[in-house]
Amino acid sequence: MPAPGRRCRTGRSNSTDSFVMPTIHVILNPNARRNRTDTEARAAMIRRILGSQGAVHCTRTLAELRQTLERLAITPADYVVCDGGDGSVHWAVNTLADLCGGDEARLPIFVPARAGTIDFVATKAGIFGSPTRVIRDLTSALRRGARPRTKELDTLRIEGIESGPSGTRAFSRIGFALAAGGVGARFFDRYYEERSRGRRAIAKILSRAVGSHLSARARLPVSQDFRDYGRDLFRPTLARVTIDGKELATTEHGALHAGSIDVNFRGMLRVFPLAKQSGVLHFQAGSILPGEIIRSLPRLYRGAPLSTTGLTELAGKEMTIVPLDGELNPIIDGERFEHLQRLCVERGPKVRVPTFGVDH
């Protein structure tokens, strides 16, 4: 393993760099769903798989993550395996991008393992199977002298103003999917309230929201909590939104979202289809009524753009959001951020992921 004390080095390796022996750094998130039972046993198993090819780093907090990545001499030829969910990928990318001064050429290859409840980044990368299988396949390939092919994923650069006890400060994140308000952000509120997450939780939220809305419309004798479930989920976010320099006429946004990649939520919902094309950001903003959202569920299942009159859905370059009813509490890659007074979304750096096809 490289000596500690050195940060990201410049330069980018390729299949002709036969003299470069990459290191696999497994960042194990003990808070991830699959890693909560016996972290030490899991770490020991991964170390046996890696042998001299890499190392395991257990990081329970964001402070530990940063301290760990600061002391490693991670190069652009190395692999950083995020043994957690989409949030683990998010924090690893952001921390290393910060340590590398925002230079995407200095970033390593990120390997999103499937240890979360949605894992949409791994799905987009075409990485399937258990995290252990992913690590084993990568280690085996490198021992044969074979470098897995990589592809680049687009990201969002999300910047704004964050308020806190001591005043305001700049906010800056890199992400793949943003739910700044509307139904997307409220969906995640409900999702993280579920004890067991995944496909069943997604189906439960959708069916409950539909039933709640239809019961209220039909004036059925249901509990107030059930009646309020759909009403709150579909409640719009009030904000001034500008896309590519043009301010939208409406300030009520049932959807307020952005994606740099097409996102697959466990085969149940597929969103941001316009971002399937490299270099394209998919923006959604504007009014969409609860009935329109419900009627659009088959389109979301197929991964088709929504078909509504009040929703602006397009491929754009920049979106600015200024809340009118308080602050924004956006969800970025499944992670919640709070007390945002303003957000600006544009293209971020490209991130490399392996495809596990092999270049020699």
- Could you write out the DSSP letters of every residue in 241-273? EEETTEE-S--EESEEEEESS-EEETTTEEE-G
Q: What is the DSSP letter of 235?
A: P
Q: How many domains does the chain have?
A: 2
> Is residue 134 domain-shared with residue 171, that is, in the same domain?
no
> Is residue 298 domain-shared with residue 224, that is, in the same domain?
yes
Task: Choose the final residue of a domain: 145, 173, 197.
Answer: 145
pLDDT reported for residue 14: 44
pLDDT reported for residue 75: 94
> Is residue 67 domain-shared with residue 126, that is, in the same domain?
yes
> Is residue 83 domain-shared with residue 183, that is, in the same domain?
no
Q: Residue 164: which CATH number?
A: 2.60.200.40
HSE-CB for 312 with a 13 A CA cutoff: 20
pLDDT reported for residue 39: 81
268: its two tokens: 């149940």
pLDDT reported for residue 4: 34
Asked if the structure places residue 356 within a domain, the reply is no
Asked if the structure places residue 78 within a domain, the reply is yes
Complete DSSP assignment for 49-116: HHGGGEEEEE--SHHHHHHHHHHS---TTSEEEEES-HHHHHHHHHHHHHHTTT-GGG--EEEE-S-S
pLDDT reported for residue 20: 64
| β-strands 340-347, 246-247 pairing | unpaired
> Is residue 320 domain-shared with residue 263, that is, in the same domain?
yes
> Is residue 241 domain-shared with residue 338, that is, in the same domain?
yes
Asked if the structure places residue 358 within a domain, the reply is no
> Is residue 343 domain-shared with residue 195, that is, in the same domain?
yes
> Is residue 184 domain-shared with residue 322, that is, in the same domain?
yes
> Is residue 175 domain-shared with residue 292, that is, in the same domain?
yes
Task: Choose the final residue of a domain: 97, 112, 145.
Answer: 145
Distance CA(70)–CA(88), nearest Å, equals 17
Asked if the structure places residue 354 within a domain, the reply is no
Q: What domain range is 201 assigned to?
A: 156-347
> Is residue 129 domain-shared with residue 60, that is, in the same domain?
yes
Asked if the structure places residue 238 within a domain, the reply is yes
Query: Nearest 5°: CA angle at 280, between 274 and 284?
Result: 55
Asked whether the beta carbons of 135 and 142 are under 8 A apart, the reply is no
**pTM of the complete model:** 0.89
Q: What is the mean pLDDT of the chain?
A: 89
Residue 297: its H or E element: helix 297-302
Q: Which residues of the chain have pLDDT under 70?
A: 1-20, 32-37, 356-360
Task: Choose the final residue of a domain: 124, 145, 166.
Answer: 145
Asked if the structure places residue 231 within a domain, the reply is yes
Asked if the structure places residue 133 within a domain, the reply is yes
- Burial of residue 238, with CB atoms counted within 10 A of its CB: 0-12 exposed, 13-18 middle, 19 or more buried: middle
> Is residue 182 domain-shared with residue 279, that is, in the same domain?
yes
pLDDT reported for residue 336: 95
> Is residue 133 domain-shared with residue 240, that is, in the same domain?
no
pLDDT reported for residue 76: 95
Q: What percent of the chain has pLDDT over 90?
A: 72
Q: Residue 138: which CATH number?
A: 3.40.50.10330
CA distances from 353 to 53, 124, 126, 197 (A): 18, 10, 9, 26
Asked if the structure places residue 186 within a domain, the reply is yes
